[in-house]
Each structure stands twice: as structure tokens, then as C-alpha cells.
Structure 1
Amino acid sequence: MRTRPSAAVLVAIALPLVLAVTVAVLSLVNRNAADPSAPDPGPPDTRPLAAAPVDAPDASGPACTALLAALPATLPGGDAGLPTRALADPAPAGVRAWAAPSRPVVLRCGLPRPAELTPTSALVVVNGVSWLQLPDDVPDPVQSSWVAVDRGTYIAVTTPATVGSGPLQAVSDAITATLPAAPIAVR
């Protein structure tokens, strides 16, 4: 013989469910709400980007060549996609950029192992790629930088805070499709 649960049990089960649904709906409604005090960044800058040369010993190697060829022309981000942004001459090897409001998204391939990667580093896995977020000492950062640390070469992506995680997800997809995973070398 089955007995029906008491009203208290039903309320104990239903209340957390209703609360979870309410929080989810509110976060969806408010996730794109603009801060009325924030200035409008205006349209993205589409002029050729002058990318400074950095130490990237593997930037011209086959892994970076394959990855750059596999990257999408448009990254997801903000209200619309982020189109590829040309690089000013002389363009360093292993670099790709996309136009975004306020700051570009910039990818650099072939970098040396980041000094910030230690045995206790917190890594985030996005679409099969292990990323190390580089520290930003600014209390309210306007951009974030990530380094893919589980491939045969290191790849850094810097994105403005306003575009969300779409660029990192799309780059992760291209990395997963192009470069095999490798053990993470922390020392």
C-alpha cells in the first residue's frame, strides 16, 4: 500500500525547485542588461590592428599554421558576431584578431610556457581545452587573458570583458579540432 507524501514533504521538494527556476529566469533576463552608468563603447574599431611582437618561438610552426587556418572568421560575442580584424604590417607570426567593442579579441599562438603555470594552478576546461587565466591586478578588469596549456604549443587569447565567453568557446573548438591534447608541463 502506497501512502501519499505529507504536505510538508511536498513543500520541501517544490520550494527549492521553484527557487531554482526563479533564479534561472532572472539570470537570463538580466544577463544582457546594460549598466546605465556605463558609457556606450560605440562600434568596434575595424582598422588594421598593430600587434606588438612578443616572444613566440613556435608561432611559425605547423601547429600554429594549422590552428590559424581553422579559426572562424567571426567569433560569437556581444549582440552580434565579432568579425576578423586585419593586422597592420609588419604582422607578427601566429597572431589573429577580431573586432569587438572597446578592445579587440587577440589570439597569439606559439608562446613559451607561462611562468604562472604551477602545480597548483587552477585550470578551466572549455570544450575540451585546459585554460589558465592570467592574473589581472585591476579590481574591475576590462579584459581577461587565457592560455591554453594542454597542447604541444601555448595559445593565448585576450578578450574584452564585454563579449562574454563565446570567443573562448569558439577558439577552444578550433583548438580541439586541430591540435591533439598533450600532457600539461607545469615545470
Structure 2
Amino acid sequence: MVLAIALPVLLALVVAGLAVAARAGAFSPTVAAETGPLALAPVDAPDATSAGCTSLLAALPADLPGDPALAGRPMAEPVQAGTKAWAAVPRPVVLRCGLSRPQELTPTATLTDVNGVSWLTITDGTPQPTLVTYVAVDRGVYIALTTPTQIGSGPVQSVSDRIAATLPKRPLQLR
């Protein structure tokens, strides 16, 4: 009789424990960030070869903050001017400098200040976004930093520091 009661209770506890462990990621394989050359699709970046972008790219760190640190990633040929990338999971962190003015930058757009740089935040449009793009809108060139949402704010803080140190602030160009 005791065995008839104890066995189902024990089975329920084991199943519950496995469910908690699975939800916590205990059974998920560790995925390593890709580190090979990254091919980027071309985008409209009329100022990618400007002095501002050249200065910023030279000032960017080899690695970005993360756990573990996000190592720089080489670009595949043909390399798009004004770009830099870092290895991250599930997608790389990508910086593009010299972009055209974002259409989302309107008088009612919400901007976020990170270490003295005004950023327009654009998500991938899904209910639970996996990527977020920050566009620096208060410098002489537009700079986009696209990151996976789960890596936190370290990359945008680090890049903000380099932008603030390299490119002078200018008034916003609103329509």
C-alpha cells in the first residue's frame, strides 16, 4: 500500500525536477559564437568613408563587454565600408557607420541617452524581439549598433563611450 502511494509521488517529483532543470537550461548544449569572417548585405551608407566613421572605427575596442567578452570578428570580402563586428550568440554584434537618416527618427521618437549619446532604439518587430538596433542620432554621421537582446547593455555602453570621445555632438535633425 505504501509503495503504491510512494511510487507515483516519487515519479512526479522526478518529472518536476527534470522540467525545472530543462527550463533552467541544464540540458541545453552550449552554443559557441561563430568567429569566422562575417558577410554583410550592403546597405545605404553614404557617409561610411567619412572622416568621422574612419575615426570612430579606429577608436572601437577589439572586444566588447559581455560574459564572456565579445571578441572582434573579421569581415568577409567584399568588406562593407564603415562596418565592424563582434562574435556573439545567437547573432553577431554589428556596427555600421555613415548610414542614411533613419525614417523612424521623427519629432515624437523616443530617444535613450547612454553615456552622453542619444540613441533611437529599433527592435526586430516581433512581440519578443531577439535583435535590437540602436541608432546614434546626435553626431555628424548616423551609427547603428545591432545586438542580440539577451547580451545586455555592455556593448552599447562601450560603443557610446567611443562615440562620445571621437565624434562631436550636434543638434538632432528632425523632420
TM-score interval w.r.t. the shorter chain? 0.7 to 0.9
For residues 108 and 136 of structure 1, the distance between their equivalents in structure 2, rounded to whole angstroms, comes to 17
When residues 146 and 90 of structure 1 are mapped into structure 2, their CA distance, relative to the original with a 3 A threshold, is same
What does residue 29 of structure 1 align with? none
Task: Give how far 1:161 is off.
Answer: 1.3
Q: Could you tell me the TM-score, scaled by structure 2's length?
A: 0.84
What does residue 162 of structure 2 align with? 174
What does residue 85 of structure 2 align with? 97
Q: Deviations over 1:104-139 (max 9, x none)?
A: 000000001100000011000000000000143201
**Letter aligned with residue 70 of structure 1:** A
Q: Could you tell me the TM-score, scaled by structure 1's length?
A: 0.78
- The reply on whether 1:58 has 2:47 as its aligned counterpart is yes
RMSD over aligned Cα atoms: 1.6
Q: Deviations over 1:149-181 (max 9, x none)?
A: 000000000001121000000000000000000
For residues 128 and 148 of structure 2, the distance between their equivalents in structure 1, rounded to whole angstroms, comes to 12
For residues 41 and 142 of structure 1, the distance between their equivalents in structure 2, rounded to whole angstroms, comes to 18
Equivalent of residue 145 in structure 2, options 124, 142, 157:
157
CA contact 2:139–2:168 (8 Å) conserved in 1: yes
Q: Percent identity?
A: 59
For residues 138 and 108 of structure 2, the distance between their equivalents in structure 1, rounded to whole angstroms, comes to 15
> Which secondary structure does the structure 2 equivalent of 1:69 belong to?
helix
Q: Which runs of 4+ in 1 moved over 4 A?
A: 37-41
Task: Give how far 1:40 is off.
Answer: 4.7
What does residue 70 of structure 2 align with? 82
Task: Give how far 1:101 is off.
Answer: 1.6
What does residue 6 of structure 1 align with? none
- The reply on whether 1:68 has 2:57 as its aligned counterpart is yes
- The reply on whether 1:184 has 2:175 as its aligned counterpart is no
CA contact 1:111–1:153 (8 Å) conserved in 2: yes
What residue ranges of structure 1 are gaps of 5+ in the alignment?
1-33
CA contact 1:110–1:155 (8 Å) conserved in 2: yes
> Which secondary structure does the structure 2 equivalent of 1:156 belong to?
strand
For residues 134 and 143 of structure 1, the distance between their equivalents in structure 2, rounded to whole angstroms, comes to 9
**Letter aligned with residue 66 of structure 1:** S
CA contact 2:40–2:80 (8 Å) conserved in 1: yes
How many residues were matched structurally? 153
